[in-house]
Amino acid sequence: MIHRPEVGIEQKLKTELYITPDLQQSLDILTLGVTDLASYVNNVALDNPAIRVDPPTWQMSASFARRPHKKNRQPLDEKTPDPVMALKAPEPTLADRLKAALPTYQLDTELLKGTHLIIDALDERGYLGMPLEEISQRFNYPMDRLKKALEVVQSLDPPGIGARDLRECLHLQHRRLGEPLPVLTAIIEEHLLDVAKGQFKKIASRLRVSLEAVLEAVSLLKTFHPKPGKLYSTDSEPTVYIIPDAAVQNNTGTLEVRIYDDVLPRLTLEPDILQMLRHEKLDTQTKAYLARQVARANKLIEQLNARKTTLARVLHAVAHYQKDFFFYGFDHLKPLTMQTVAETVGLSVSTVSRAVRDKYIQTPWGVIEFKRLFPSAISGTEAQGEATSETVIRKIKAYIEAEDKTQPLSDEEIAAALNREGIYISRRTVAKYRSLSGIPSSQQRKHDKKAPENPFRKEIEPVYRH
> pLDDT tens digit string along 298-320?
999 999 999 999 999 999 999 99
- Between 347 and 433, the more confident residue is 347
Which of 198, 199, 174 is closest to 186 using CA atoms? 174
pLDDT of residue 322: 93
pLDDT of residue 298: 94
pLDDT of residue 89: 54
53-74: average pLDDT:
50
- Between 452 and 15, the more confident residue is 15
436-458: average pLDDT:
65
Distance CA 213, CA 20 (A): 72
116-139: average pLDDT:
85
- Between 233 and 247, the more confident residue is 247
**Topology of the domain comprising 378-448:** Arc Repressor Mutant, subunit A (1.10.10)
Instruction: Quickly state the pLDDT bin for 73 (edges 50, 70, 90).
Output: very low
- Between 235 and 302, the more confident residue is 302
What does each C-alpha distance from 209 to 177, 187, 188, 203, 348 come to in angstroms? 22, 12, 15, 8, 67
- Between 385 and 409, the more confident residue is 409
Distance CA 405, CA 112 (A): 54
Which of 450, 448, 453, 406 is closest to 215 using CA atoms? 450
67-92: average pLDDT:
45
**Residue 71 pLDDT exceeds 70:** no
Lowest mean per-residue pLDDT among 22-31, 81-90, 305-314:
81-90
Distance CA 390, CA 388 (A): 5
Distance CA 401, CA 398 (A): 5
| pLDDT tens digits, one per residue of 244-294 | 999 999 888 899 999 988 888 889 999 988 888 888 778 888 889 999 999
**Residue 72 pLDDT exceeds 50:** no
pLDDT of residue 3: 63
pLDDT of residue 167: 86
**Residue 99 pLDDT exceeds 90:** no
Distance CA 6, CA 3 (A): 9
**Residue 26 pLDDT exceeds 60:** yes
Range with top average pLDDT, 89-103, 123-137, 178-192, 351-365: 351-365
Mode of pairing for the β-strands spanning 51-54 and 266-269? antiparallel
56-72: average pLDDT:
44
**Residue 228 pLDDT exceeds 70:** yes
pLDDT of residue 76: 39
Q: Mean pLDDT over all residues of the chain?
A: 80
Q: Where are the domains of the chain?
A: 101-232, 246-373, 378-448
SS (H, E, C) the chain: CCCCCCCCCCCCCCCCCCCCHHHHHHHHHHHCCHHHHHHHHHHHHHCCCCEEEECCCCCCCHHHHHCCCCCCCCCCCCCCCCHHHHCCCCCCCHHHHHHHHHHHHCCCHHHHHHHHHHHHCECCCCCECCCHHHHHHHHCCCHHHHHHHHHHHHCCCCCCCCCCCHHHHHHHHHHCCCCCCHHHHHHHHHCHHHHHHCCHHHHHHHHCCCHHHHHHHHHHHCCCCCCHHHHHCCCCCCCCCCCCCEEEEEECCEEEEEECHHHCCEEEECHHHHHHHCCCCCCHHHHHHHHHHHHHHHHHHHHHHHHHHHHHHHHHHHHHHCHHHHHHCHHHCCCCCHHHHHHHHCCCHHHHHHHHCCCEEEECCEEEEHHHHCCCECCCCCCCCCCEHHHHHHHHHHHHHHCCCCCCCCHHHHHHHHHHCCCCCCHHHHHHHHHHCCCCCHHHHHHHCCCCCCCCHHHHHHHHHC
| pLDDT tens digits, one per residue of 160-192 | 888 888 888 888 888 887 777 888 888 888 888
pLDDT of residue 373: 92
Residue 421, classified by CB atoms within 10 Å of its CB into exposed (0-12), middle (13-18) or buried (19+), is exposed
125-144: average pLDDT:
85
Residue 323, classified by CB atoms within 10 Å of its CB into exposed (0-12), middle (13-18) or buried (19+), is middle
Burial letters 164-180, b for 16+ CB under 10 A, else e: eebebbbbbbbeeeeee
Are the CB atoms for 273 and 284 separated by under 8 Å? no
